Structure 1
Amino acid sequence: MDVQGTVADGFEPVRDAFAENFARRGERGAAVAVYRDGRRIVDLWGGTKDADGTSEEPWTPGTAQVVRSATKGVAAAVPLLLHQRGLVDLDAPVGTYWPEFKAAGKERVLVRHLLSHRAGLPVLDRPLSPAEAIDGVSGPAAVAAQAPAWEPGTAHGYHAQTYSWLLGELVHRVTGRTVGGWVADEIAGPLGADLWIGLPASERERAGRIADVEPPAEPAAAGLRLRPKKAVSDAYGDPQSLTRRAFAAIEPLADENDPAYRAAELPASAGIATADGLARFYASLLGGLDGMRRLFAPATLTLARTEESAGPDRVLIVGTRFGLGYMLHGAASPLLAPGSFGHPGRGGSLGFADPESGISFGYVTNGMQKNVTADARAQALVRALALSLEPGLRVG
């Protein structure tokens, strides 16, 4: 595989790991970008845009794709920035901003519960069709009427799909704008980042701009390291489990390569980005990007990565760790270091920041690997990055 792009001196191990992903780990098309203290030090791409091997159209520096749950990390910045501006109280009941949400015993669900997966709303009594999921009305109405699966605030469980309508409607009630519109105007546009929640028509009309992604064969947990295997397998095999129902809140699965889906504003799962767009976004949270003011004030950065949820996840079964809207480094989702925060996406895409080292990272891939724990390709790149930062570090 002819890997394209550049790496700064000392970060050659990342290039080697990226090339090895194609040679040994089944990579088809992908890109990785890394910033350090606001300066891009890795910018690599390779492979083809198609996910099924039917064409040979090469990946280019501007190739973007659906990044699935890595979208959650981008979307989470919106309520945190609204809080930073004094427009959202994280400890206020969601019903303060969204009165209809108070139904079915949800009066005490707080805004912070939505962001830390503690709202008790990972499932719907009736799954939504793909058309309903993206119409902007059915999803918010469904979660507003839904009774919690557990007492809100007492436990956590990954809100795989319902996060879209919970967070999206909250932002709409507070600002009168959609999450995608807010991200475009306040984050991606000013940053010059190729990053969208709801792909605009101008980008949809650019031939070859967006790479297709391989469809998933069965429910899976967003690229997490899954242990114990039998417990997880049993949960996914049981149609009545919270695990299975959470990932089936949209049924049947939407076609992620459909232009209508790409245009949809689903902040849980349908964001589209380049690797550089993801890395640039996380770099902006830390500050120092191209001389621009950092997006997160120090107190907001602390909120994003302070542990809110930890331990057995009622949906993912394994132990997970969340801050406010972000996954934190841990066994289920290894990042660069203990202080790192970000979000993986099912199929391998990954974005995160590590304030202590000044690193921000973005990786996108159009291949869907099966029967894996933490995605081997993303983890190989993270290990190589760690080795580049600490040459004496032993990397497994």
Structure 2
Amino acid sequence: MPAEQVSRETKAGRIEGEYDPKFKEVYEAFVENFESRDEVGANVSITLEGRTVVDLWGGRKAREGDAWTRDTVSIVFSCTKGAAAICAHMLADRGLLDLDAPVAKYWPEFAQNGKEEATVSMLLDHSVGVPHLRETLKDGAYYDYDHMVDLIAREKAFWQPGTRNGYHGVTFAWTVGEIVHRAAGKRLGAFFRDEVAGPLGLDFWIGLPEEIEPRVAPMIYAVPDPSAPPSKFTQAVMSDPKSIASLFLLNNGGANFNSRECHAAEIGSANGISNGRGLAGIYAPLANGGGKLVSADTLARMGRVAMATHEDATLLIPTRFALGFMKSMDNRKVPNAPSSSVILSDAAFGHVGMGGSIGFADPEARMSFGYNMNRMGMGILLNERGQALVDAAYRSLGYRSNASGVWTV
């Protein structure tokens, strides 16, 4: 059947694009996000067996701003980690990076202060023990790559590497980023541009060129509900300035993620700039056997759970990670933890971004999915807007239920 063409007004502005009629429910969920879930601007894109079956965009770049157009992009925060992890696995597939080797083989300076026995895979699964930095960061520290790499190398491990995990929410940029740099001989942003985004023809940057800046929709930060009971993460941030949660959230050197300076920097955990199309695009080869990115054996390793815990040392919720990617995490029954789940199929792997963006591959369904937006939601993982789109995608493919914590047929 021919694709359905879309052009309709909503409360937030015009929605445009197209979708395969099989995925009408995704279109309906996208519209509903604008009509009743306070979406401002967004793009959702889905590929199936390598073919784009959904590409919808719309709303505004700001609440009273210009229209969100097809080429609008935004910061996708931790979805960047998935892009960085793809680069590491590509190097492993080429024999340039051994994921089971000591980090010291590639980065000798890292092997100090309790990190001597750390392996490369521990950098990827958030168990290496450097979830943040204790030292108060200087102004603009996140924008100074070499400075952050030096701090990470010297940091004392928060725990013996490999013995537990805690989300390396920002430091992943300089742990995984630097191991890619050492193995590839070029920095992460350049490797990703030259080997992934460029060859695939995607709008996705880790270090944004200045000429793209006018296309960026600034993020609209979430406003906490003072009446909502605080999560364990929020309680830790508020009550203990030395906690990992507080350091992660507040010790950031005054980083402004809406600034040109931040967009131009290389923060391979948090400042990737793309859209739903770019997020679905980086995962499309991985949903279809690996494509030109990785072999079938490497792809199998990418999607396998590598680390899981009942309480992540940073996020203070149960988490499940593959090597550099999130797996389905069902925390719907965890007390006072709203928007702290991401429900996918058991085969899927990818990454969410702060505020609710997401990109992932599902090799069994042969589907890739990407969603970005500019109004950030509360919570740690997906909020109702992104999850509604994911749910609609799985139902469109005939999946029956996610009551088990993963989508099943």
Compute the TM-score of the two structures, normalised by the length of structure 1: 0.90
Give 2:220's match in structure 1, choosing from 207, 214, 220: 214
1:125 matched to 2:134: yes
**Change in 2 beyond 3 A, CA 1:145/1:379:** same
1:374 matched to 2:382: yes
How far apart, in 2, do the equivalents of 1:229 and 1:295 lie?
A: 42
Q: Equivalent residue for 1:47? A: 59
Deviation at 1:194? Answer: 0.8
Query: How far does the alpha carbon of each residue in 1:176-197 deviate from its partner, in whole angstroms, 9 at most, with x for none?
Result: 2110000000000000011110
Residue type at the aligned position of 1:12? K
How far apart, in 1, do the equivalents of 2:134 and 2:36 lie?
A: 43
* 1:141-180 → structure 2 map (5 Å cutoff): 141-180=150-189
Residue type at the aligned position of 1:315? T
How far apart, in 2, do the equivalents of 1:231 and 1:288 lie?
A: 39
1:343 matched to 2:351: yes
Give 2:74's match in structure 1, choosing from 52, 59, 65: 65
SS, match of residue 22 in structure 2: coil
How far apart, in 2, do the equivalents of 1:46 and 1:175 lie?
A: 38
How far apart, in 2, do the equivalents of 1:373 and 1:261 lie?
A: 22
- Preserved CA contact (<8 Å) 1:128 1:139: no
Residue type at the aligned position of 1:210? V
Deviation at 1:390? Answer: 1.1
- Preserved CA contact (<8 Å) 1:335 1:352: no
Deviation at 1:353? Answer: 0.8
Deviation at 1:392? Answer: 6.2
Q: Equivalent residue for 2:7? A: none
Deviation at 1:371? Answer: 5.8
How far apart, in 1, do the equivalents of 2:67 and 2:315 lie?
A: 36
SS, match of residue 328 in structure 1: coil
**Change in 2 beyond 3 A, CA 1:136/1:393:** closer
Q: Equivalent residue for 1:222? A: none
* 1:17-36 → structure 2 map (5 Å cutoff): 17-36=29-48
How far apart, in 1, do the equivalents of 2:208 and 2:89 lie?
A: 23
How far apart, in 2, do the equivalents of 1:76 and 1:230 lie?
A: 29
Task: Tell me which of the two structures has the higher relative contact order, counting C-alpha pairs closer than 8 angstroms and 6 or more residues apart.
Answer: 1
Give 1:78's match in structure 2, choosing from 68, 87, 101: 87
How far apart, in 2, do the equivalents of 1:100 and 1:305 lie?
A: 30
How far apart, in 1, do the equivalents of 2:21 and 2:174 lie?
A: 44
How far apart, in 1, do the equivalents of 2:251 and 2:302 lie?
A: 26
Q: Equivalent residue for 2:337? A: none
Q: Equivalent residue for 1:239? A: 241
Deviation at 1:216? Answer: 5.0
Range 230-239 or range 344-353, more displaced = 230-239
Residue type at the aligned position of 2:60? T
Deviation at 1:103? Answer: 1.7
Deviation at 1:394? Answer: 8.6
How far apart, in 2, do the equivalents of 1:386 and 1:276 lie?
A: 18
Give 2:361's match in structure 1, choosing from 347, 353, 368: 353
Residue type at the aligned position of 1:300? T
How far apart, in 2, do the equivalents of 1:145 and 1:95 lie?
A: 13
How far apart, in 1, do the equivalents of 2:247 and 2:314 lie?
A: 9
Q: Equivalent residue for 2:278? A: 277
Residue type at the aligned position of 2:15? V
Report the count of equivalent residues: 377
Deviation at 1:299? Answer: 1.1
SS, match of residue 307 in structure 1: coil
Deviation at 1:306? Answer: 1.1
How far apart, in 2, do the equivalents of 1:286 and 1:143 lie?
A: 33
**Change in 2 beyond 3 A, CA 1:394/1:240:** closer
How far apart, in 1, do the equivalents of 2:124 and 2:283 lie?
A: 18
SS, match of residue 361 in structure 1: strand
How far apart, in 1, do the equivalents of 2:172 and 2:136 lie?
A: 14
Q: Equivalent residue for 2:117? A: 108
